[in-house]
């Protein structure tokens, strides 16, 4: 599963946790602030973003930041929609003593029917890694649709520059 899809799935889990919180009466939206810090080790050929790690070496990916989660309820108090955004969220790709960092501010929109998650849509700038003198070496921005039942990415619209030779050269020793 791609890292972007995995991050949005984590957002979906946050919504699932919020579902039992609904009360019988109509309630205003709730806001939760959830710190997130995860480090992943990605071997050559494993999933990195929306593609595979093309480098002949292992990459360490550190996600760090905060999710701000706003849950909306219907008049019966059942969660019907959730907006999740990243606050000060960074991704750092490291290998061979070098690193590349990007800020990710892409929000995720989660829809629910009868308290069950029915749709996950991420929009905006997922990641943008630009190397001076080279340009973008990894970037995804646009609209990303995920099937909440499977966690699979079903559609990608917009900019998609997967990691390639320039990305690997930048992280080479």
Confidence (pLDDT) at 148: 85
pLDDT tens-digit readout, 101-146:
998 878 888 887 777 788 888 898 888 999 999 999 999 899 988 8
Nearest alpha carbon to residue 164 among 141, 132, 131: 131
Question: Greater confidence, 100 or 160?
Answer: 100
**Each residue's pLDDT tens digit, 12-62:** 555 544 444 444 456 899 999 999 999 999 999 998 766 789 999 999 999
75-111 pLDDT, tens digit per residue, is 888 888 899 988 888 999 999 999 999 988 788 888 8
Classified as helix, coil or strand, 63 is strand
Nearest to 49 by CA among 93, 17, 85, 89: 93
Distance CA 107, CA 125 (A): 9
3-state secondary structure 82-121: EEEEEEEEEEEEEECCEEEEEECCCCEEEEEECCEEEEEE
**Gap between the Cα atoms of 137 and 162, Å rounded:** 7
């Amino acid at each position: 599963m791609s890292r972007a899809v995995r991050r949005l799935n984590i957002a979906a889990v946050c919504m699932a946790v919020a579902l039992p919180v609904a009360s019988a009466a109509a309630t205003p939206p709730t806001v939760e602030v959830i710190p997130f810090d995860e480090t992943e080790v990605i071997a050559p050929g494993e999933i990195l973003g929306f593609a595979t790690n093309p480098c002949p070496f292992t990459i360490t990916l550190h996600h760090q930041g905060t999710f701000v989660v706003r849950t909306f309820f219907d008049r019966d108090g059942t969660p019907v929609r959730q907006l999740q955004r990243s606050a000060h969220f960074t991704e750092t790709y490291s290998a061979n003593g070098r690193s590349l960092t990007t800020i990710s501010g892409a929000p995720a929109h989660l829809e629910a029917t009868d308290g069950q998650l029915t749709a996950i849509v991420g929009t905006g700038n997922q990641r943008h890694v630009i190397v001076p003198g080279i340009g973008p070496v990894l970037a995804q921005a646009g609209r990303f649709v995920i099937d909440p039942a499977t966690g699979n990415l079903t559609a990608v619209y917009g900019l998609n520059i997967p990691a390639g030779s320039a990305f690997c050269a930048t992280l080479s020793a």
